[in-house]
Structure 1
């Protein structure tokens, strides 16, 4: 480790002897990163999590292959109407007038509109094919005629599906209805356009709302574009609420921690530089700021606060013993740079383990967080001490008073109370205490195995009801008005009969084989419970159903099918190429192309699922049905894709946890072997973190907090952040311990010297990150709560469990065995206390 020692001495000399040069260098680099701030863009929604997944690729291939090449792209908007009776004449007219006004606006590119009101009008007059004619028809009809038309139209399933579940056919009454507006959008926009507020569909939907509002207040616009707009808005709204609250709380605690305005200013400056470097890196690297990255600034603030408090506190310990600025900072920085290096290495390992995730946003989170923590180490290990040396020397020359030089956590202080409890336990019964800790850890870990895993759009949407404390905030902190969750919940609750999802089986292979259509029929028989059934078969749409439907309508085509139906079961077996050619050349050709490609090499089969079926059940059953085909087939669709994301989330969480633990263990063993000659200290450092992870897993299940796209990172993050607390205690103990004078004096010095700073750091970190519970989206609130909880657990295990671990470790060592000497150990390199 001689190279490391030389590097440590070089850095220390620069900080103490040439602090102005160090500060200038950091300012130059900051200017370079500031250039990247203007390139930071935002990205929102769920599409970023589904990229590159097999089910998503199959979904995209299915949409691409079964959309006519020269057909315009389309998108749909829903018009939700709710009142005492949406089937009354005034309500029907308002809906038809809304459709009419939308159609009259060329800029809204409306292709068609359909509604229950349209069906009632055409039931009254089959010749009323235009919206204008339908308005006149309803205007001229009496309420009794309208009620009769509603009862006749109710035999149509699609009409019933457009009405809420409380539809009463005899009374011709319902409290809700949904109309569909079809827009033509520029070519190249996919069916899920709306993943970005800049998409044409999102713009069309947003511009449709004022038009709809002009006919009355009981109709509202809903669609993917509205959801996407709220995805984007919630990022800004969350940041503008969370960051000021976080900064305010942090400042309050920093005032208590530093108790000196200049030290406070230096700490805040260092935090600001950290954020500039991190966001500048994102801009230069082309990484978009997504919802999951909202968690990065509070995490960096948390680690930066910890480093800042430890740096100033350790320096003050030396100053109160009478050492001058230079020797005091030299002694403090040599010791803390090692501790910061250990903390940074383990924290980076914890964050960087997320790069193994199968989800791109989680990988980006791991990269940005790891780079940000590295920047934090550089800034608080170099810039902050250098500015502290500069300002203190200026203060001494100018006679500026020091407001406080007393370190945190001295004996008798409030902040030192909890660490003192850990020492008391270590003196009286460390082995028994550790045995109880093991039982608690195992029990919590086993219980935590039942944590749920979820992924849905609702995770990223704001709650249906904005909390009153947010609505009462002044501008610009008051959040926007959000409606998407309200409308999603309304549709789920009031239209259950129509809310069943569909899943698609994408089939590849020669569809002209004799057994092709027979394979489709066999796959549809005896469907799983989550599929809607029609007798003993699944409710399905495929090339097979198109063949059957056209055979019922065309006598000539029916004869062709019969001639090639060898086993007389209604499914053609021979000459399928001829059957397909005849079908594609008929009036049913466009419908056939929705389910079979022109080259007859791929097909899609669409199954309807039960409204109440769980996402996991649907995805599992869809996979089982896909396995029934004699061709290569894969289940896809939104439900399947989202379930695949859930599976990837769980796998990523486990993989990241194992990788983070392994990397951290190896790193700590190597570092303590190199620095102290005792690798077991590295494992000692790791034990509190393992305990924290098991406690956190059990708490997640107890609090009903699932693994989702963001909280899946929490276990590896816990390792990264949590090691910080135990590392400071273990490293300070190693610095004080010589192996000859007993374990309690150096342990007491370590706990007393770091305990107060750790307590202050814990309080600022838990509150600084905990304010994420104020974020508009539930997923961020859950992440904030869990991160704050993990920091609290890390602190408690570090100050309560580590002392007992150290005592047991010392008893197992050969008597009188010292640790390796190194720079920064007590008694080494003090220098002249009277020089600067």
Structure 2
């Protein structure tokens, strides 16, 4: 349902489909969706264990967690919308689509899911049947596996194969795992005509659940009891992470996006192996101006010759430095062919001369005449054959009457898999083009072509990362200050986000990951996940402070409730993304591996670092529960 909402709303607002909207956003939203449903349902289950009926448990539980869910939804949306500062259209669409997905996840998984769970629990209770024992446990496990498998398969089909088949699969899964059980329970209720009875006693936890709760509690309490050491170690690790993260450079390699065993990558390897430094990926110099000026043509010719002095530009086996036709070699072909010169003179009455023997006509009129003739008739050669066809000449010199002409100089750059090679070549070529652009007859002389376009995109991706992260963190901090009405708790809640981002990018640099379009977006996702986890822990701690006599008791109860929910949410997400990490396409594999790592780091920050920070900024006197107990004790003594 979440995927259907995302695709439908994205289509309504006009977001273009593509890698980000159709694949990356739906996969990413699994993390935040799981977080919403785990916290809402877990809080509901906590109240059920306290002895409340399903309906009352939902009211109390949802009331307790709704503020945190709303705050998480708002902060997540801000984090993703910060990507609107990017100049790259795909990243802008990612920000919009992710914000839509967060809102959809909040409604469907944060609100509808616990209501549905409550209704099923009610039906189970009033049916009069006993859902206990090994058989019931086995059925629950098999049902969970079935739901995960069916919905996971449906989502994959919906995203990657066929939308209609995916929707049908989802509907069938919903019918099998929700429709049929609910119908069965409703029919059982009608037959027994049982009345709903509130639960009158607390429900005991299973040994496994109790053990997990105790484990999380022990981790949090141990960390907070050694807060100074934990915070010092965190500061050292973060400083090292920032040091390595700043060394992370944007790079591009097809092996980062496609299977190394695919035909395309193997073909590129063969080309590199056999061509070597005699060829490479085409770079293009785009030149516009008055290309009938002999001095301008001479300046362009000098630019071409200067490319020979640049190490990162390939010289072809024939000795040429350029490939294809351009204004210079087209004129050279015309001037070196007496048959063509004679044909031009016979057709126009204008003799093309080259007194300085530089293979460039001596006057503007001669160059314009040569171009006009060749664009219409081609360049004739011996036996009446054309050396150059008219369309080839028109491709070399783009000209329209009354407007400036333009030409492209195409050269080859070997080894462009290494982004440093492209950067080095660009740094060497751009100053020469700037000198060429200063010529009076040339208005534009710029560098383009796939390697340099990619370089600009990677630079824009890096700038997006450097601008969107501060925007997201600043906006989230302002939002938290306004909603929490506490500067210290807002700052403490945001700190783990910065830690997660620093740790993640430091690990990326150490483990050899590159900064590209996909990995840069993980920064935005890490803010969303990190702030979710932090908000839930901080809000639960503040809530427990109002009901407990000490900070330690408050953090202990927060860890037993929200801490366990965080662990469950993180574990389910990590498993899914670890599986994605084994995908054959390196792009999805690296995305899965890094996202799983990021979720683990966010969990560490929220269960170990954040409790220490909360204890550090909270005074013992802030525990309102102590005053409450004193008042109760006083009232009892007076009574």
* Cα separation, partners in 2 of 1:443 and 1:538, compared to 1, 3 Å: same
Residues 409, 757 of structure 1: 8 Å contact kept:
no
Aligned match of 2:455:
643
2:408 paired residue number: 605
Contact 1:684–1:805 (CA<8 Å) still a contact in 2?
yes
**Cα distance, 1:415 vs structure 2:** 5.2
Q: Does 1:280 align with 2:8?
A: yes
The superposition leaves residues 769-790 of structure 1 with CA deviations (integer Å, 9 ceiling, x where unpaired) of 2222233321111111111100
Q: Which residue of 2 aligns with 1:434?
A: 231
Alignment check: 8 A CA contact 1:455 1:709 kept? no
Aligned to 1:356: 85
The residue that corresponds to 1:684 in the other structure is 492
Q: Any conservation in 1 of the 2:581–2:592 contact (CA below 8 Å)?
A: yes
For 1:561 and 1:707, the matched residues in 2 are separated by 58
**8 Å Cα contact 1:302/1:769 also seen in 2:** no
Give the match's secondary structure for 2:87.
coil
- Paired residue for 2:282? 502
Higher helix share: 2
Q: Matches of residues 369-518 of structure 1 in structure 2 within 5 Å? A: 369-403=98-132, 413-414=211-212, 416-427=214-225, 429-455=226-252, 457-464=254-261, 482-496=262-276, 499-518=279-298
**Compared CA separation, residues 453 and 433, structure 1 to 2 (3 A):** same
Task: Provide the C-alpha distance between the structure 1 equivalents of 2:483 and 2:362, rounded to a whole number of angstroms.
Answer: 73
When structure 1 is superposed on structure 2, of 660-669 and 519-528 the one drifting more is 519-528
Is 1:304–2:33 an aligned residue pair? yes
Equivalences for residues 598-747 of structure 1 within 5 A = 598-599=399-400, 601-612=404-415, 614-629=421-436, 630=439, 631=442, 632-673=444-485, 678-738=486-546, 741-747=549-555
Is 1:596 the equivalent of 2:376? no
Please list the CA deviations of residues 188-213 of structure 1 after superposition, one character each: whole Å capped at 9, or x if unmatched: xxxxxxxxxxxxxxxxxxxxxxxxxx
The runs of 5 or more residues in structure 1 that have no matched partner are 1-272, 465-481, 820-824, 827-836
Contact kept? 2:80, 2:525, Cα under 8 Å: yes
Q: Distance in 2 between matches of 1:606 and 1:297?
A: 43
2:364 matched residue in structure 1? 576
**Corresponding pairs, count:** 523
TM-superposed deviation, 1:603: 2.1
- Name 1:313's counterpart in structure 2: 42
The answer on whether the counterparts of 2:216 and 2:560 sit within 8 Å (CA) in structure 1 is no
Provide the secondary structure at the position in 2 that maps to 1:401. Answer: coil
Q: 1:414 to 1:381 in 2, by over 3 A?
A: closer
More off after superposition, 502-511 vs 336-345: 502-511
Mapped to 2, the partners of 1:422 and 1:505 lie a distance apart of: 60
> What secondary structure is seen at the aligned counterpart in 1 of 2:258?
coil
**CA-to-partner distance for each residue in 1:248-270, whole Å, 9 max, x for gaps?**
xxxxxxxxxxxxxxxxxxxxxxx
1:307-346 CA deviation, whole Å, 9 max, x = no partner?
2222222122212222222332111101111111122122
Query: Residues 84 and 95 of structure 2 are in contact (CA less than 8 Å); yes or no, is this contact kept in structure 1?
Result: yes
User: 1:780 corresponds to which residue?
Assistant: 588
Contact 1:518 1:573 in 2 (8 A): no
- What is the alpha-carbon distance in structure 2 between the residues aligned to residue 756 and residue 628 of structure 1? 65
Q: In the TM superposition, what whole-angstrom CA distance separates every residue of 1:388-413 from its partner, at most 9, and x where no partner exists?
A: 33222222221133559656999951
1:536-551 → structure 2 map (5 Å cutoff): 538-539=321-322, 541-551=325-335
SS at match of 1:311: helix
CA distance in 2, matches of 1:737, 1:415: 20
Residue 456 of structure 1: how far off its partner (Å): 5.0
CA distance in 2, matches of 1:770, 1:581: 67
With 703-712 and 380-389 compared, the bigger mean Cα shift is at 380-389
Change over 3 Å in CA distance of 1:742–1:355 after alignment to 2: same
Contact 2:37-2:109 within 8 A present in 1 as well: yes
Distance, in Å, in 2 between the alignment partners of 1:501 and 1:637 is: 9
Retained in 2: the 8 A contact 1:503–1:622? no
SS of corresponding position for 2:306: coil
CA distance in 2, matches of 1:555, 1:289: 55
| Partner SS state of residue 471, structure 2 | helix
The CA deviation at 1:522 is: 3.0
Rounded to whole Å, the distance in 2 between the matches of 1:531 and 1:569 is 27
Q: Deviations over 1:461-481 (max 9, x none)?
A: 3331xxxxxxxxxxxxxxxxx
Shift of 1:685: 0.8
- Deviation at 1:546? 1.8
1:561: how far off? 8.8
Aligned match of 1:805: 613
SS of aligned partner of 1:526: helix
Q: Partner of 1:502: helix, strand, or coil?
A: strand
| Structure 2 residue 576 is the aligned partner of structure 1 residue 764 | no
* TM-score after normalising by structure 1: 0.58
Give 3-state SS (helix, strand or coil) of 2:445's partner.
Answer: strand
CA contact (8 A) 2:545 2:622 kept: no
SS in structure 1 at match of 2:454: helix
Classify the secondary structure of the residue corresponding to 1:712. helix
Question: SS of the residue aligned with 2:571?
Answer: helix
CA contact (8 A) 1:615 1:643 kept: yes
SS in 1 for 2:249: coil
Alpha-carbon separation, structure 2, partners of 1:312 and 1:598: 68
Give, in angstroms, the shift of residue 282 of structure 1.
Answer: 3.4
Between 1:632-641 and 1:447-456, the stretch displaced more is: 447-456
3-state SS of paired residue (2:398): coil
> Which of residues 330, 333, 336 is equivalent to 1:552?
336
Q: Contact 2:213 / 2:560 at 8 angstroms: preserved in 1?
A: no
Contact 1:685 1:726 in 2 (8 A): yes
Mapped to 1, the partners of 2:538 and 2:322 lie a distance apart of 64
C-alpha distance in 1, partners of 2:353/2:449?
36
Shift of 1:730: 0.6
Q: Partners in 1 of 2:289 and 2:624 — Cα distance?
A: 72
CA distance in 1, matches of 2:595, 2:319: 50
Secondary structure class of the residue paired with 1:653? helix
Whole-angstrom distance in 1 between the partners of 2:272 and 2:319:
27
Q: Does 1:531 align with 2:260?
A: no
Please give the residue correspondences for 1:183-194 in structure 2 after superposition, counting only pairs within 5 Å. none
Gap runs ≥5 in structure 2: 138-202, 380-387, 630-639
Distance in 1 of aligned mates of 2:311 and 2:340: 38
Distance 1:400 1:278 in 2: 39
1:51 corresponding residue in structure 2: none
From the superposition, tell whether residues 578 and 733 of structure 1 become closer, same or farther in structure 2 (CA, over 3 Å): same
Structure 1 stretch displaced more, 335-344 or 347-356: 347-356
Q: What is the CA–CA distance in structure 2 between the aligned matches of 1:406 and 1:740, rounded to whole Å? A: 22
**Cα offsets for 1:628-659 (capped at 9, x unmatched):** 31221111112222222221221222222222
TM-score (norm 2): 0.75
- Aligned alpha-carbon RMSD (Å): 3.1
Select 1:328's aligned residue among 26, 40, 57. 57
